[in-house]
Amino acid sequence: MAVVIRLARFGRPHKPHYRVTVADHKAKLKGRFIEIVGQFDPAPKGKALGINLNMERVKYWLGVGAQPSDTVKDLIRKVEKAPTTN
């Protein structure tokens, strides 16, 4: 079973909202998934990044061989590059 990390589109027309899901590569985009590891809002309000990823789970899935889509790769890079506020 080849596992991928990809986006699943939700929301209204012209107002998309995405879930970052881990799924079998043969599953439908909005269909069966293994785990939801984050959310992505392409048009956030204010200065927020609009990306909410559970990096611990993302790194786990990448470690066991899951292949991220190109868009998810970019999102992971943005989250890792963003300054942490603690």
- DSSP per residue, 10-66: EEETTEEEEEEEEEETTS-TTS--SEEEEEE-SS-STT---EEE-HHHHHHHHHTT-
* Cβ-based neighbours of 32, under 8 Å, separated by 6 or more: 23, 24
- Whole-number pLDDT of residue 85: 62
pTM of the model: 0.84
- Mean pLDDT for the stretch of residues 62-70: 94
**Comparing 10 with 48, which gets the higher pLDDT?**
10
Domains and CATH numbers, the chain: 3-81 (3.30.1320.10)
